[in-house]
Chains A and B, each alone.
Chain A
Amino acid sequence: MTACGAPVVTLRRGPFSRLLPADAADRTWLRRFVIRVLIATNMVLGLYYFAWRFSSSINWSAWPIALALLSAEVYSFMGSVFFGVSMWKLRVRGAAPLAPPGKSVDVFITCYNEPVEIVRQTVRHALAIRYAHETYVLDDGNLPAIRAMAAAEGVGYIVRSANWSGKQRHAKAGNLNNALFQTTGEFLVVLDADQLAHPAFLDNTLAYFDDAKVAFVQTSQPFYKVPDGDPFGSHAPLFYGPIQQSKDGWNAAFFCGSNAVLRREALMQLGLMYYGRELVRRVRRALRAAEGVLHAAEGRLGSIVDRLERERVHGALHTLHGAVRHARKELRAGTPVQMVTWDFQRAAEAVARSLVQADLAQIGAELAELDGLPGIESGRTTTDMSELLGDDDALAALTRRDASPLVAIGTVHSLLLAVDMDRADEAQPLMPLATISVTEDMATAMRLHSLGWTSIYHYEELAQGLAPEDLGTALQQRLRWAQGTLQVLLRENPLTLAGLSLGQRMMYLSTMWSYLSGFFTVIYLIAPVLFLTLHVSPIRAFSGEFYWHLFPFLLTNQVLFLVIGWGLSTWRGQQYSLALFPIWIRSVTSAVGNVCFGRGLGFAVTAKTRQEGRYLRMIRPQLAAMALLCFAAIVGLGRLAFGFTTDGVPILVNVGWACYNLVTLGVVLTAATYTPDESEVAADEPETAHLAAFVAQRRGRGASAA
Chain B
Amino acid sequence: MDITFDSQHGGVMVARPVGRLDLLSAAEAKSRLLETGAGGHPRLVIDLAEVSFIDSTGLGALIGALKSARQHGGDLRLARPTDQAKRCSRSRHWTA
Contacts and interface: CB of A to CB of B under 8 A. Distances in A.
Nearest to B67: A422
A338 B56 contact: no
A337 interface: yes
A336 B95 contact: yes
Contacts of B12: none
Contacts of A530: none
A129 interface: no
Interface in B41-86: 55-57, 59-60, 63-64, 66-67, 70-71, 75
A474 interface: no
Interface of A: 181, 184-186, 264-265, 268-269, 271-273, 275-276, 279-280, 336-339, 342, 420-422, 429-430
Query: Dominant SS at the A interface?
Result: helix
B60 A268 contact: yes
Given A185-B23, A268-B23, A421-B67, 5 more contacts: A269-B56, A276-B93, A421-B70, A422-B71, A429-B63
A342 B67 contact: no
Contacts of A186: 23
A280 to B, nearest CB: 6
Nearest to B26: A184
A272 B63 contact: yes
Contacts of A184: 23-24, 26-27
Given A336-B94, A338-B95, A271 B67 contact: no
A265 B63 contact: no
Contact of B75 (A269, A337, A342): A342
B68 to A, nearest CB: 9
Contacts of B75: 338, 342
A296 to B, nearest CB: 28
Contacts of B24: 184
Contact of B23 (A264, A280, A337, A339): A264
Interface of B: 23-24, 26-27, 55-57, 59-60, 63-64, 66-67, 70-71, 75, 89, 92-95
Contacts of B94: 336, 338
Contacts of A337: 93
A272 B67 contact: no
A336 B92 CA distance: 8
Contact of B57 (A268, A339, A421): A268
Contacts of A420: 67, 70-71
B56 A268 contact: yes
Contacts of B59: 268, 272
Contacts of B66: 338, 421
B23 A430 contact: no
A252 to B, nearest CB: 23
A271 B60 contact: yes
A275 to B, nearest CB: 7
Contacts of B23: 184-186, 264-265, 268
A17 B24 CA distance: 53
Nearest to A423: B67
Contact of A265 (B57, B92, B93): B57
Contact of A429 (B55, B56, B64, B93): B64
A43 B77 CA distance: 58
B70 A422 contact: yes
Contacts of A421: 63, 66-67, 70
Contact of B55 (A181, A268, A430): A268
A344 to B, nearest CB: 12
A17 B25 CA distance: 57
Contacts of A336: 93-95
A147 to B, nearest CB: 22
A219 B49 CA distance: 42
A422 B64 CA distance: 9
A303 B94 CA distance: 43
Contact of A272 (B26, B56, B70, B95): B56
B95 A430 contact: no
A280 B93 contact: yes
B93 A264 contact: no
A635 B71 CA distance: 76
A161 B89 CA distance: 27
A420 B24 CA distance: 28
6 contacts: A268-B23, A268-B55, A268-B60, A269-B56, A280-B93, A338-B75
A264 B22 CA distance: 11
Contacts of B70: 420-422
A389 to B, nearest CB: 16
Given A265-B55, A265-B56, A421-B70, A272 B92 contact: yes
A181 B61 CA distance: 10
A273 B92 contact: yes
B60 A430 contact: yes
A19 B89 CA distance: 57
A421 B75 CA distance: 10
A336 B76 CA distance: 13
Contacts of A338: 66, 75, 93-95
Nearest to A334: B93
Contacts of B71: 420, 422
Contact of A271 (B26, B56, B93, B95): B56
Among A186, A336, A338, which residue has the most Cβ atoms of chain B within 10 A?
A338
A276 B60 contact: no
A429 B67 contact: yes
A273 B90 CA distance: 10
Contacts of B64: 429
A186 B57 CA distance: 10
A185 B22 CA distance: 11
Contacts of A280: 93
Contacts of A265: 23, 55-57
Nearest to B56: A268
A273 B89 CA distance: 9
Among A186, A272, A273, A279, which residue has the most Cβ atoms of chain B within 10 A?
A272
